[in-house]
Amino acid sequence: MKYDHQLSRVLIVGGTHGNEFTGVYLIKKFEQFPQLINRSSFETLTLLANPQAFTAVRRYINKDLNRCFLRHNLEDLTLSSYEDLRAREINYLFGKNGKTPVDFIVDLHSTTANMGITIIVDNDEPFNLQLAAYLNYINPAIKVCNLGNSGRSHDSLRSLGRFGICIEVGSVPQGVLNAEFFLKTEAIIYTILDYLELYNQEKVPSFSNNLICYEYLEKIDYPRNEQGEIQAMIHPHLQFQDYEVLHPGDPMFLTFDGQIISYQGNSTVYPVFINEAAYYEKGTAMCFTEKHQITI
Amino acid sequence: MKYDHQLSRVLIVGGTHGNEFTGVYLIKKFEQFPQLINRSSFETLTLLANPQAFTAVRRYINKDLNRCFLRHNLEDLTLSSYEDLRAREINYLFGKNGKTPVDFIVDLHSTTANMGITIIVDNDEPFNLQLAAYLNYINPAIKVCNLGNSGRSHDSLRSLGRFGICIEVGSVPQGVLNAEFFLKTEAIIYTILDYLELYNQEKVPSFSNNLICYEYLEKIDYPRNEQGEIQAMIHPHLQFQDYEVLHPGDPMFLTFDGQIISYQGNSTVYPVFINEAAYYEKGTAMCFTEKHQITI
């Protein structure tokens, strides 16, 4: 373990999407009981990122806040949707040149896909990967997914921090608070804060430097007609099978008139975000990943 | 079986709530393949009830369409929200004094609660209960729930028909199409249409006249603070336990600081609609029912 980066400020974010309640209610809890997230070697801040969307129980009001943080968007003062304004405000508070710039961001999300507890990293940044590997070492049920190839490292809220990860839990419906995932997410946050404390003290215990990482390949859309309407559903054999292997020839979709559409690729892949509600409008039925054993 | 009512027109409704996709896509399928729902002794019509809400992937635009059918609301021309206008239009088309009045309505819904396949009736109307008993006889996994005591017989879309039932399936997140529930709902619709055909021909086969029916008692809200914010979650032991018995003293809620709130009533009840996303705003964490064996 290299100790290159003393961390002085950590930001925990919930409600970047207003209808993902796990994060929202954890932020409310931490704001009521701040001692739970206080650690001696750094300051911990909290943010309910999209309060209007939470009040409306929607992912966003005008546009997806978690796609609003491209540098040129933040600098474009002609952008004036609620989420554009909110992104600039958040950047002004916590960004690199902001009022209280943060070294590390934990962004809390939920998905309707059956992704269990997933740590999402957006790049190969060793600091983030080491933390992810540590969390997987503490709890092997935790999956680690690298979305670096999807461009998320540039436009997401967590890209504002020097370092950052996302905790993605599911399957949880939008607008639903699931106690089991609330408790599991809470436990991981405490483990992260304790890890960052140990890191600052240069006392991180040694752990395996091998990690299974699911690396983003591409997104797959639903079959659609010329009007853009979906013409098929996730096949029942694939529904809820996130992180399971998909072989060439395996069923992917079932059309409304009962035809099976199977996977036509040449290599095995590992789909994630299968049937995520918010991704219908993004043209994403699932994301393909490759499973890699990496050494940190 | 008494054959009092020749049925001449049946209406299948989906998308009364725009983010409940099972019904929406079944209606689209039936509109593309109308021969699937044609029967010789009656006319079958379809309705996508709230198309604007479907486009917006929301339950409704201004107000819950499935609460807009009280007679005095339909007659109140000062009500001018999108759903009020839509309710009047639907009443004008399919209501008792409408253009093509319907004898029977099947309204298709989904829920984030773990209610499996539920047939909801809104009263003790023998025709509806006989159909529900028949469906339960054909497939014993189907539950029958009587919401009569909740007032749904007066304000719901299906109250427009002489007779009608709701097919409620879950757990399905809002904005998600789940193939398994799509196929199961589709199969039940065909069974219903076949039953109605047999009924018109006075050829319904004999079947058990006993039925387990879950009868609505009351709705239970989340613990809330003075600002109306929820202060607890459905307890993990109760989550997904729809139709399972709840004894006095059993855990119901878990507060954010870890306190268990248990059921304080004197009698055993059977909760349904546990953690339905759309009911947070209605002040409903679950509905209590009583389990009755009834004879049709």
Question: Which token pair is A110?
Answer: 């939920």
Asked if residue B25 and residue B91 are part of one domain, the reply reads: yes
Query: Is B121 among the domain residues?
Result: yes
A47, A128, A185, B215 from A31: Cα distances, Å: 9, 25, 16, 41
Asked if residue A53 and residue A31 are part of one domain, the reply reads: yes
Residue A153's pLDDT is what? 75
Find out whether A20 is annotated in a ligand binding site: yes
The beta strand positions in chain A, using DSSP E, are: 9-14, 43-48, 104-110, 116-121, 143-146, 163-170, 210-220, 232-234, 251-255, 260-262, 270-272, 286-295
Under an 8 A CB cutoff, do B174 and A236 touch?
no
B143 vs B277: CA distance, rounded Å: 21
Which helix (H) or strand (E) segment holds residue B91: the answer is helix B82-94
> What percent of chain B is predicted at pLDDT more than 70?
100
B289 vs B145: CA distance, rounded Å: 8
Q: Among A145, A180, A208, where does a domain finish?
A: A208
Position B153 pLDDT exceeds 80:
no
User: Is B256 an interface residue toward A (CB < 8 Å)?
Assistant: yes
Q: Among A208, A230, A261, where does a domain finish?
A: A208
Query: Is A29 among the domain residues?
Result: yes
Query: Is B47 among the domain residues?
Result: yes
Asked if residue A261 and residue A201 are part of one domain, the reply reads: no
Residue B4's pLDDT is what? 79
Find out whether A139 is annotated in a ligand binding site: no
Opening angle at CA A216, ends A129 and A189, nearest 5 = 40
Asked if residue A185 and residue A81 are part of one domain, the reply reads: yes
A121 has which bridge partners?
A146
Asked if residue A121 and residue A47 are part of one domain, the reply reads: yes
pLDDT in tens, A259-274: 999 999 999 999 999 9
Residue A152's pLDDT is what? 76
Contacts of A236 (CB under 8 A, 6+ apart): A254, B179, B180, B183
- In the chain, the amino acid numbered B47 is L
Asked if residue B59 and residue B152 are part of one domain, the reply reads: yes
Under an 8 A CB cutoff, do A28 and B277 touch?
no
B278 vs B272: CA distance, rounded Å: 14
Under an 8 A CB cutoff, do A174 and B277 touch?
yes
Helix pair B179-200, B126-138: axis angle to 10 deg: 120
Opening angle at CA A18, ends A12 and A24, nearest 5 = 40
Q: Annotated catalytic, A43?
A: no
Residue A250's pLDDT is what? 98
Instruction: Measure CB to CB from residue B173 to each of A173, A229, A257 and give the nearest one.
Output: A173
Among the listed residues A31, A43, A168, A202, the single catalytic one is A168
Query: Is A2 among the domain residues?
Result: no
Under an 8 A CB cutoff, do B229 and A28 touch?
yes
Asked if residue A157 and residue A88 are part of one domain, the reply reads: yes
Query: Is B295 among the domain residues?
Result: no
Asked if residue A259 and residue A127 are part of one domain, the reply reads: no
Q: Among B180, B208, B236, where does a domain finish?
A: B208
pLDDT in tens, B250-271: 999 999 999 999 999 999 999 9
**3-state secondary structure at position B291:** strand
CA distance A286 to chain B (A): 13
Under an 8 A CB cutoff, do B233 and A179 touch?
yes
User: How many domains are there within chain B?
Assistant: 2
Q: Which domain holds residue B277?
A: 218-290
pTM for the full model? 0.96
- Asked if B282 and B152 touch (Cβ cutoff 8 Å), the reply is no
Asked if residue B228 and residue B113 are part of one domain, the reply reads: no
- Asked if A160 and A90 touch (Cβ cutoff 8 Å), the reply is yes
Find out whether A59 is annotated in a ligand binding site: yes
pLDDT in tens, A81-117: 999 999 999 999 999 999 999 999 999 999 999 999 9
CA distance B180 to chain A (A): 6
B229 vs B263: CA distance, rounded Å: 21
| ipTM, interface predicted TM-score of the complex | 0.95
- In the chain, the amino acid numbered B165 is I
Tens-of-pLDDT digits for all 296 residues of chain A? 778 779 999 999 999 999 999 999 999 999 999 999 999 999 999 999 999 999 999 999 999 999 999 999 999 999 999 999 999 999 999 999 999 999 999 999 999 999 999 999 999 999 999 999 999 999 999 999 999 888 777 899 999 999 999 999 999 999 999 999 999 999 999 999 999 999 999 999 998 889 999 999 999 999 999 999 999 999 999 999 999 999 999 999 999 999 999 999 999 999 999 999 999 999 999 999 999 999 98
Asked if residue A166 and residue A231 are part of one domain, the reply reads: no
Query: Is B140 among the domain residues?
Result: yes
- Give the β-pairing of B116-121 and B163-170: antiparallel
Asked if residue A265 and residue A202 are part of one domain, the reply reads: no
Specify the CATH number for the domain of residue A225.
Answer: 2.20.25.160
Asked if residue A179 and residue A266 are part of one domain, the reply reads: no
CA distance A156 to chain B (A): 23
Instruction: Measure CB to CB from residue B174 to each of A28, A29, A277 and give the nearest one.
Output: A277
Specify the CATH number for the domain of residue A136.
Answer: 3.40.630.10
| Closest chain A CA to residue B177 | A233
Find out whether B17 is annotated in a ligand binding site: yes
* Mean pLDDT calculated for residue range B115-141: 96
Selected residues 122-161 of chain A with any CB under 8 Å from a CB in chain B: none
Which helix (H) or strand (E) segment holds residue B169: the answer is strand B163-170
Under an 8 A CB cutoff, do B277 and A176 touch?
yes
